[in-house]
Chain A
Amino acid sequence: MAGLALLAVIIGVVAAAPLLARHDPDQQNLLHVLAGPSGSYPLGTDDLGRDAWARLLFAGRADLAIGFAAVIAPFILGTVLGLIAGYLGGWVDAVIMRVLDIVVAFPFYVLVIAIVFALGAGVGSIFLAITAVAWVSYARIIRGEVLVAKRLGYVQAARAAGLSSPRILLRHLTPNVLGQAVIYAMSDIVLTILAVVTLGYLGLGVQPPTPEWGAMMQTGEAYLSIHPWLATAPGIAVVLTGLALSLIGDGLSAELGSS
């Protein structure tokens, strides 16, 4: 509940960004760089004279939107492959699981960064890279659930009733195994947003001048000793967002996980 409330506040603030910020986040003012906090600029200005508060809010839009969206594609891809592998078994299962093993063999960030680097920085590359790497968790979870469910009475009974395999798979297995993947997706959003922020920090993410938390931390880092809020404010935003989503994930697994 606390997580839900916190996330609601974060989303509310980010959604209301145009109302809460007094300046255009991309508007440079080179006569007014690195100003301290003031009434007009609550967090001061950055090295190009842009309103740091406005950039913080608009950056949240980019990070949250990309983070949520980038969970959906691996969720679908992993679920479909996990269902197929678990239900069909045999060589199909073996092929999917070997590909999965290869992906898992690389550390998450190494592979994501390598793929983004190869494709060129940008939002599209982030989507592709995260999808190509993150599906494995969903596929594993779903495959395991299917292997268990396959032996359960209702799947046996559906076969005894003469239902076709696609029908059993879609109508009976999928709704019953999806719960675990949904719970995992909640915690996966945290990882995905972190990945987006990390890529931004490395300069591989959302391209300037569009504001983004990771990129803001990276530019703010240079002025850490004189204007510490430039780097810490987006950092705190990331921590709060991660905390909210983690709490929601825990709450969900406590609610649904027991069944």
Chain B
Amino acid sequence: MTGSALLSVRDLCVTMRQGRAAVPVVQDLSIDLDTGDALGLVGESGSGKTTTLRAIVRLLPAAGRIRDGQVMFGGQDLARASSRELRAIRGGQIGVVWQDPLAVLDPVIGVGEQIAETVRAHSRASRSGARARAQALMRQVELPDVGQTGRRYPHELSGGQRQRVVIASAIAAGPRLLLADEPTTALDVTVQEQVLMLLARLRAELGLALLLVTHDLAVVAQTCDRVAVMYAGRIAETGTVASVFGAPRHHYTRGLLRAAPRIDRPGVLPEGIAGTPAASAAARGCAFAPRCPAADDVCRTVTPALSGALSGALSGAGGHLAACHHPGSGS
């Protein structure tokens, strides 16, 4: 971790209004992302991973609010930026690839024009200049026959083509950071593979940093260098993909890995984690304690802090940290 990361989220707390109460959905979350880095944010539904992504670009749903923390990007705190500053950052410095490409494309406008629109929002390009740039972008994301495809409407394209259009829009203004929210979840497995390869190629070509939100551990293993596992609004474990997946230290990560189907171990069935996920960050104690095989009284009363292990020296610059009182024990 260098001193000046591209994106540095510090102690982020996000609450969602539910009736009169403000329920914490993200708590004390810190992430660092250097230029060219790829970080995977994984966790189950409701763990706060998408909320974190939305909070970074300040596109939380109406009930959501950043209660505390900083989102430093390019020397600017996005958590306190004005709407004018945010508009320049969104799409300009930070591109977002959303989950469902059919939903995020305007159904009544041709896809080429939608890409050109983002170009024009962040440059002084003329109408025809933006159109030419849009076509170049469409070629870059490997869309076929860009002249004709650009005139098509979203419903006339395949799922994979749509996601390529969304990616082209996201990189239209030459951002330094790409946020991707479950970019492959809505796609067929074969298409998923192609889109992931495209993202990897663009990242290398454009020197993009990538924050990838997903529940799919295989996607993270394939695309990212580092991973942060979220549970109930907090980071449970973080480190390089190799060290976290190879030698998990948090019991939740271990459970997740056991729950993932393994093609290299036929006959070994995925195993669920007992119990139901916590709805929000616990007031005290470890949120995973009710489901954890190694939980004791300390776990139920003292919130564990992210801390390094004995093997810290081995895990390199990324630092392998886990928020667990008993990282060694268990299966």
CB–CB B90/A157 < 8 A: no
Contact of A156 with B104 in the complex, beta carbons under 8 Å: yes
Give the contacts of B94-143 with A (CB-CB under 8 A): 96, 98, 100, 102-109, 117-118, 121-122
Question: In whole Å, how far is B256's beta carbon from the nearest beta carbon of chain A?
Answer: 28
Contact indicator per residue, chain A 137-169, by CB within 8 Å of chain B (1) or not (0)? 000000000000001111011111111100100
The reply to whether A156 and B109 form a contact with Cβ atoms under 8 Å apart is: no
Q: Main secondary structure on chain A at its contact with chain B?
A: helix
- Chain A residue contacts of B87, Cβ below 8 A: 162-164
**Interchain CB contact under 8 A, A161 and B59:** no
Chain A CB within 8 A of B89 CB: yes
Q: Is B70 an interface residue (CB 8 A)?
A: no
Instruction: Return the contact of B90 from the options A159, A175, A176 (Cβ within 8 A).
Output: A159
- Across the interface, name the chain A residue whose C-beta is closest to B86: A162
Given A159-B59, A160-B90, the answer on whether A153 and B117 have CB atoms closer than 8 Å is no
Kindly state the separation between the CA atoms of A175 and B153 in the bound complex, as whole angstroms.
Answer: 14
With a CB–CB cut-off of 8 A, which chain A residues contact B104? 153-154, 156-157
Residue of A nearest to B57 (CB): A160
Name the residue among B102, B106, B170 with the largest chain A CB count within 10 angstroms.
Answer: B106
Contact of B107 among A151, A161, A167, A176 (CB under 8 A): A176
For B89, the closest partner residue in chain A by CB is A162
Known contacts A154-B103, A171-B117; is-contact A160 B108 (Cβ 8 Å)? no
Task: Check if A152 sits within 8 Å of B59, measured CB to CB.
Answer: no
Contact in complex: A153, B91 (CB < 8 Å): no
CB distance from A144 to the nearest CB of B (A): 16
Q: What 1/0 flags go to B44-86 for Cβ under 8 Å of A?
A: 0000000000000101010000000000000000000000001
Q: Which of A152, A153, A161, A175 contacts B121 (CB 8 A)?
A: A161
Contacts of A151 in B (CB 8 A): 61
- Point out the residues of chain A lying under 8 angstroms from B86, CB to CB: 162
Does A172 belong to the interface (CB within 8 Å)? yes
B242 within 8 A of partner (CB): no
A156 to chain B, nearest CB (A): 6
- Does B92 make an interface contact (CB < 8 A)? yes
Q: Number of contact residues on A: which range applies?
A: 10 to 19
* CB atoms of A161 and B169 under 8 A apart: yes
Identify which of A162, A172, A175 contacts B88 (C-beta below 8 A).
Answer: A162
- How close is A97's CB to chain B, nearest CB, in angstroms? 17
Complex alpha-carbon distance, A159 and B58, angstroms: 10
Q: Which residues of B contact A161 (CB under 8 A)?
A: 90-91, 96, 117-118, 121, 169-170, 172
Question: In the complex, what residues of B have CB within 8 A of residue A159's CB?
Answer: 59, 90
For chain B, residues 3 to 40, give those with C-beta under 8 angstroms from any C-beta of chain A: none
Most buried by B among A151, A160, A171: A160
Establish whether residues B90 and A154, one from each chain, have CB atoms under 8 Å apart when the complex forms: no
Q: In this complex, what residue of B is CB-closest to A151? A: B61
Does the CB pair A162–B103 fall under 8 Å? no
Please measure, in the bound complex, the distance between the C-alpha atom of A7 and the C-alpha atom of B305, giving whole angstroms. Answer: 75
Complex CA gap A167/B96 in Å reads 19
CA distance A172 to B108 in the complex (A): 8
Contacts of B108 in A (CB 8 A): 175-176
B117: contacting residue among A163, A175, A176, CB under 8 A: A163
Q: Is the CB of B103 within 8 A of A153?
A: yes
A residues near B172, Cβ cutoff 8 Å? 161
**Distance in Å from the Cβ of B82 to the closest Cβ of chain A?**
13
Q: Smallest CB–CB gap between A143 and chain B, Å?
A: 16
B98 touches A157 (CB 8 A): yes
- B122 and A172 contact, CB distance less than 8 A: no
Is B96 in contact with A157, judged by CB distance below 8 angstroms? yes
| Residues in A neighbouring B90, C-beta threshold 8 A | 159-162
Residues of B contacting A175 in the complex (Cβ-Cβ under 8 angstroms): 108-109
B106–A156 CB distance below 8 A: no
Collect the chain A residues with CB atoms within 8 Å of residue B106's CB. 154, 158, 172, 176
CA distance A162 to B120 in the complex (A): 10
Nearest Cβ in chain A — how far from B308, in angstroms? 35
A154-B117 in contact given A159-B59, A160-B59, A161-B91 (Cβ < 8 Å) = no
A160 to B170 CA separation, bound complex (whole angstroms): 9
Q: From A175, which residue of chain B is reached at the shortest CB distance?
A: B108
B residues less than 8 Å from A157 (CB atoms): 96, 98, 104-105, 166, 169
Please name all residues of chain A whose beta carbon is closer than 8 Å to the beta carbon of B91 when the two chains form the complex: 160-163
Q: Can you give 26 contacting A-B residue pairs, CB < 8 Å?
A: A153-B98, A153-B100, A153-B102, A153-B105, A154-B103, A154-B107, A156-B59, A157-B96, A157-B98, A157-B166, A160-B59, A160-B96, A160-B98, A161-B91, A161-B96, A161-B118, A162-B87, A162-B91, A162-B122, A163-B91, A163-B121, A164-B87, A172-B106, A172-B109, A175-B108, A176-B106
A residues at B contact (CB < 8 Å): 151-154, 156-164, 167, 171-172, 175-176
